[in-house]
Structure 1
Amino acid sequence: MPVKEKFAIADVRIPLKRRKTLDSAKVEDIAYDMLENGQTTPIRLRTDKGGGYILVEGYHRLEALRAIGESEVEGYLVHAQLH
């Protein structure tokens, strides 16, 4: 079972294909919720070969944290799945 860890938001890279799916209204809603309740659901990341991490799941949560000025995100480090 993965262990929840804290990661620097600056170390997380978002894949280009994923960036096209951002819904700013959803980010705003999540940001307001996080201001009241904190981050309740961790994101999922995998290790990047060049250092840092690549986002697997949780783009809107990550951007909401960035919008409210947070520098860290709670997440799970997972292994990349082969297709």
Structure 2
Amino acid sequence: MLHDQKLPMDRIYVPTKLRTLVNPEKVEEIAASILEEGQKTPILVRRDGERFVLVEGVHRLEACRALGESTITGLLVNARR
């Protein structure tokens, strides 16, 4: 069973493919929502040695970065085989 956990944002690697999808307007919208209601949906990451690799949630991650957060709620998932 997966459990939400606080992840240090400085240990989350965002693959280039996901970085190219970032929409600044969506980041602003999500940041406003997080300020109002908190982070409702965790990001998905997989472990890669000492770091985490983002699987899903690039806009939520960037919104939390824009808000100056140092941690983000996430779920650790298994890498695809």
Indicate whether 1:80 and 2:66 are aligned.
no
TM-score by length of 2: 0.96
Deviation at 1:39, TM superposition (A): 0.5
Indicate whether 1:43 and 2:43 are aligned.
yes
Cα RMSD between the aligned structures? 0.7
The CA deviation string for residues 12-47 of structure 1, in whole angstroms up to 9 with x for no partner, is 000011111000000000000000111010000000
Q: Distance in 1 between matches of 2:28 and 2:66?
A: 8
Q: Which runs of 5+ in 1 are unaligned?
A: none
Aligned to 2:67: 68
Q: Distance in 1 between matches of 2:40 and 2:63?
A: 12
Indicate whether 1:19 and 2:19 are aligned.
yes
TM-score by length of 1: 0.94
Number of aligned residue pairs: 81
Q: Which runs of 5+ in 2 are unaligned?
A: none
Q: Distance in 2 between matches of 1:29 and 1:18?
A: 18
Q: Percentage identity across aligned positions?
A: 46
